[in-house]
Amino acid sequence: MTGLFSSFSLKDITLRNRIAVSPMCQYQAVDGFINDWHSAHYSMLARGGAGLVVVEATAVAPEGRITPGDVGLWSDEHTAGLSSIAAAIKTAGAVAGIQLAHAGRKAGCTPPWQGGAPLDRDDALAWEPVGPSAVPFVPGNDYIPREMTKDNIRQTQQDFARAAERACQAGFQWLELHFAHGFLAQSFLSPQSNTRSDEYGGSLEGRARFLLETVAEVRKFWPDNFPLTVRLGVVEFDDCPEHSFSESLKVIGWLKDAGVDFVDVGLSLATPGENIPWAANFMVPWAARVRREKNIPVGTSWMITQAKEANEFIQDGKVDVIFFARTLLANPHWPYRAARELEITDPHAVLPTPYAYWLQNWSE
């Protein structure tokens, strides 16, 4: 079998199928700590049959949270809660992944359902965001990040490394560094947000330095036999997407040389004005180009909802893993539905025994 329900091995880790739960912020944590919401949420998704479950953007420092409700792994105290999440995912038969993040100049906001804007300056939970340059995400806005010093940069790189070490201690076996969506690493890479004149800005090498040095530090603490991956915004949909894509291909080559095993091909979202060509499966061609041109395993997401199409993307060698988000929120047992649609009739292929037993020879 070569499609959506074929296994996928990377380093010493094997996914039972090509379906991954995309990291989806829940904004339900307090001071970064896991609670019952997360336990039920991740157990539900893992029992639905995905091969990989990636825990939501997990902040490597308090000021790196998108909202005060983000999960954190900036202290040893956070490890226990995430250990229980990793264990629940693995017990359900999926590989436990986690996304480590720092939101940079997009940090310190309310959740999307409260508008997603920066917290009021006088809110007790608010903090000053940081970034490569004192350039606000929204041009002209007065929510201006503090320009990071080189000591700040080094500290943040260590924060990523220590969080990776904790993630391994917690039992995670797939690591995704969040280098997309206009968050800190992406904001170093994009000339829209990085106007530094030191070695962390200017040329592509300069703008990529934060990413490469962060990978090098994480590499010291993340086991070599477990996948070290990045979610990278590979294209800025401005007046010349091919330019940012060609830069991204160079950066991906450097990341691969630095020890990155897999790229989760994502969006840049470095500026609010991007003209994203929203459509079904619209990132698949970009991911396929990365896979072909850089000879590195890739995944992607964004509006992929149909089992037969997803199956073909895998069979045709366009992508190796597909990250589903809203498709799985809408139906956590979607993998079971997808399997039936692809004529995989044994529910034990995707569901745990207490569910699968009763669904054999069942059809509504």
Ligand X SMILES: CCCCN1C=C(C(N)=O)CCC1
Nearest by Cα to 271 from 320, 235, 306? 235
Q: Write down the least CB distance from residue 320 to ligand X, Å.
A: 21
Q: 301-309 — which CB contacts under 8 Å span 24+ positions?
A: 301/22, 301/264, 301/266, 301/325, 302/266, 302/267, 303/278, 303/279, 304/280, 305/280, 306/280, 307/4, 307/337, 307/338, 307/341, 307/342, 308/341, 308/342, 309/280, 309/281
Which residues 6+ apart lie within 8 Å of 15 measured at CB? Answer: 7, 8, 9, 51, 52, 94, 95, 321
Q: Write down the least CB distance from residue 270 to ligand X, Å.
A: 12
Provide the pairing of β-strand 8-10 with 95-101.
unpaired
Q: Write down the least CB distance from residue 297 to ligand X, Å.
A: 21
Q: Write down the least CB distance from residue 264 to ligand X, Å.
A: 11
Nearer to ligand X, 25 or 55 (CB): 25
Q: Write down the least CB distance from residue 269 to ligand X, Å.
A: 6
Please report the sign of the dihedral spanned by the C-alpha atoms of residue 348, residue 354, residue 359, residue 364: negative
Q: How many helices (H) and strands (E) does the chain have?
A: 11, 13
Nearer to ligand X, 4 or 230 (CB): 230
Burial of 58 (0-12, 13-18, 19+ CB in 10 A): buried
Q: Which two tokens stand for residue 328?
A: 């799985």
Which residues 6+ apart lie within 8 Å of 277 measured at CB? Answer: 237
Q: Write down the least CB distance from residue 268 to ligand X, Å.
A: 11
Nearer to ligand X, 180 or 344 (CB): 180
Nearer to ligand X, 79 or 268 (CB): 268
Nearer to ligand X, 20 or 57 (CB): 57
Nearer to ligand X, 203 or 279 (CB): 279
Nearer to ligand X, 112 or 285 (CB): 112
Which residues here bind ligand X, judged by CB under 6 A? 25, 57, 66, 181, 269
Nearer to ligand X, 176 or 247 (CB): 176
CB atoms within 10 A of CB 47: 22
Q: Write down the least CB distance from residue 272 to ligand X, Å.
A: 11
Distances, alpha carbon 59 to alpha carbons 64, 67, 68, 89, 347, in Å:
6, 10, 10, 20, 36
Q: 40 by DSSP, 3-state: which?
A: helix
Q: Write down the least CB distance from residue 329 to ligand X, Å.
A: 13
